[in-house]
């Protein structure tokens, strides 16, 4: 999830982040019935269609400073799939660790540290680090990013535990939208009308999804009350 996300950012720019990550909601909807046994309504599938349309619009937009590449779009799709899969697996893994977020966060970080070792060797990054040892500023930034990463991992697990993987992805979309807007403002990027339309369509699709899920939850609540009575 982290690796493909970084590869996508490297090749497309921060402003593409929200558009690419929005597909996580779509993947989550289609994976949930198979992995959690929960079915989705037609309205939820319609919301996913809006998100796919928005993603398609955004993928076709380019500019001089941050041109899109086929590799960047591909890595963004894979990253979105990994995000959705991670959220669902987090929900199922919580039962294996007595619903303890701290345990799950510890295991995730430990496994990630081990898995990254062969990745470093395979990509040639180990030789670069060994040849030129990074300075103190690098280690400071690495420490800061590690603290934030650990915190995000914990908060993500807590949110999935309290709600659902799908709700977490909608929340992540809102966060990504804020990041995208800030990135465009900070880096003073010029974006075309199609790019803005892409973000608007994705936001509308996400909002429609939230409404659809709210309607489903109300029906489920009414069904439970009827059975209880």
**pLDDT 10s digits, 39-61:** 777 888 888 888 778 777 766 55
Q: What is the pTM of this model?
A: 0.66
Structural domain boundaries in the chain: 2-102+165-228
pLDDT of residue 66: 55
Encode pLDDT of 156-214 as tens digits: 888 788 777 767 776 776 676 667 767 777 877 777 777 778 778 877 887 887 788 77
b/e burial code for range 62-100 (CB count within 10 A of at least 16 → b): eeeebebeeebbebbbbbbbbbbbbbbebbebbeeeeee
pLDDT of residue 144: 92
Could you give the 3-state DSSP secondary structure of residue 217? helix
pLDDT of 65 higher than 60: no
What distance in Å separates the CA atoms of residue 176 and residue 210, rounded to the nearest whole number?
Answer: 16
């Amino acid at each position: 999830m982290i690796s493909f996300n970084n590869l996508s950012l490297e090749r497309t720019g921060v402003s593409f982040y929200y558009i690419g990550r929005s597909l996580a909601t779509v993947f989550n909807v289609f994976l949930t019935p198979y992995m959690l046994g929960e079915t989705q309504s037609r309205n939820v599938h319609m919301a996913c269609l809006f998100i796919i349309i928005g993603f398609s619009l955004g993928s076709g937009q380019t500019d001089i400073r941050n041109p899109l590449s086929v590799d960047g779009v591909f890595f963004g799709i894979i990253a979105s799939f990994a995000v959705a899969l991670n959220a669902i697996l987090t929900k199922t893994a919580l039962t294996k660790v007595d619903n303890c977020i701290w345990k799950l966060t510890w295991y995730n970080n430990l496994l990630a540290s081990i898995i990254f070792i062969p990745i470093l060797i395979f990509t040639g990054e180990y030789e670069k680090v060994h040849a030129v040892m990074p300075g103190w500023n690098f280690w400071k930034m690495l420490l800061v990013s590690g603290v934030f990463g650990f915190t995000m991992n914990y908060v993500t697990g807590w949110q999935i535990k309290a709600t659902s993987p799908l709700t977490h992805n909608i929340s992540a979309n809102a966060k990504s939208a804020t990041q995208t807007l800030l990135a465009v403002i900070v880096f003073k990027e010029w974006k075309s009308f199609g790019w803005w339309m892409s973000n608007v369509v994705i936001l509308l699709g996400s909002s429609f999804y939230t409404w659809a899920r709210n309607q489903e939850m109300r029906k489920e609540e009414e069904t439970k009350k009827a059975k209880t009575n």
